[in-house]
Structure 1
Amino acid sequence: MRRRALPAVALLLLAGCAGHQDDAKGKDTTLTVLAAASLTDVFKQAGAAYEKDHPGTRVNFSFAGSQELAAQVRQGAPADALVTADTRTMTDLAAQANTPTAIAKNRLTIATAPGNPKHVQALTDLARSDLKVVLAAPEVPVGRYSKKVLDQQHVTVKPVSQEPNVRAVLSKVSLGEADAGIVYVTDAAAAKDKVATVAVPDDQNAIATYPAATLKSTKHGTEATDFVKWLSSPEAQKILRSAGFQQP
């Protein structure tokens, strides 16, 4: 009986080994990309397009304010690439990130309730005592940009709250918890009819640059590098342009 059983066991072992080899060959690489909150909608679309063109690679995004992402990187969070909404944050992470590439630009707009019932017309209106204004915290890129443009116009705003990222500012306005807030053009566009916008003139505006870089701690260097390079490709740039981002 042993002579008959041994070949069967051997066959099972061989089959098991073959199965493990097939699983290894078919295993996907999952990239974790830390990305600025303002990229939430467009990167979900971009990630789907990338996965379609790169079978075997999955892209998982973690969205937050750039300052929160930087803290995660410094604390050793497992991730493969980083995209921030400003160059300062990326520069401060030179010890953890490889050389970055600018992939897009953005600019500010004023978001109000639909129909702009408070008749906000310009940055100077945000100082009005009858307005509840919400801004991003000054350590957040959009908060820093907002402070810059307000200071340049000598406008003093007393916000009802300072939020951790641009999406939180947008949410406060769209839910009616604030009358106005400063957000990126792309975030206001993503909100569609939930908010109205008041344009900030070019000579009063600020330009946000989005750099992307692989992290030195990545365990998927080749795949992470391919993804970051792809963000500058015509396909990725078309997706970013359609969402309202500007050329880098």
Structure 2
Amino acid sequence: MAQEKLKEILQAATLELPFRAFLISRQGEIIAQRNQDVAVSSLERIAFRLERTWSGNSANVQVQFLQASLPANELIFYTRELEKELLLTIGAMTETSIARLRQQADIIAQLYLQAHSGRSGPEEVLLHRPVNGTKDAVYAIVWQPLRPLPASQHQTLQHSLTQLAESNGCQLHHLGVDAGYIQVLVACPPGRSSAWAAHLLKSGSEQGLQQQNGSNTPLWRPGYYASEAKVPFPADELKRVFVADGS
């Protein structure tokens, strides 16, 4: 489909709070975008990262948190396929539910299908499976510290993450801490998404360490990388993801 037609599709969609940006990309390049106070360079980072991390499975979605708006706020970015290698990304305020993001993505996908088929009436849309299913989901989640965490705090971090997981019906299967990454493998109850788990563990553990240190100094970099997985991310994938993000 022509670039101008894709721009028209995004213009036809309602862009109001909590939504801040719509982006269509292919192979790491932006084809069409529309935003409210989100730097285009941030959208370029999203497209660049997707080109390196998208699995190619059309039933998948990907959720990312990145500091991307002006003034600086963390946004949630939800991505799904429109067709092979053509990706739609919705940027919104972090409190936006995955269900609402999915609904908005499906609305734009319907506009795309109508334009692609030449129809103007209602069109049945294939809804993506939710990232949270009917059984316990296991997610690999990784984020970066602003500076290497002292070895003396590793045990405190492990205790904090374990307590956060157990008190919210989750189970921590793996915790890896090194100079560049904190990575967890966590099983969550039905109905809980990777975005929920990442926010719970990342924010909760930071608050726990801050309380122990008697300081409000931020410990973690903005954003994280998460996916449903049975094993932790391998080192080469982490390097590829965070290099693509410019970290």
Higher radius of gyration, 1 or 2: 1
Q: Same fold (TM over 0.5)?
A: no
Class of the TM-score when normalised by the shorter of the 2 chains: under 0.3
Greater helix proportion: 1
TM-score using structure 1 length: 0.27
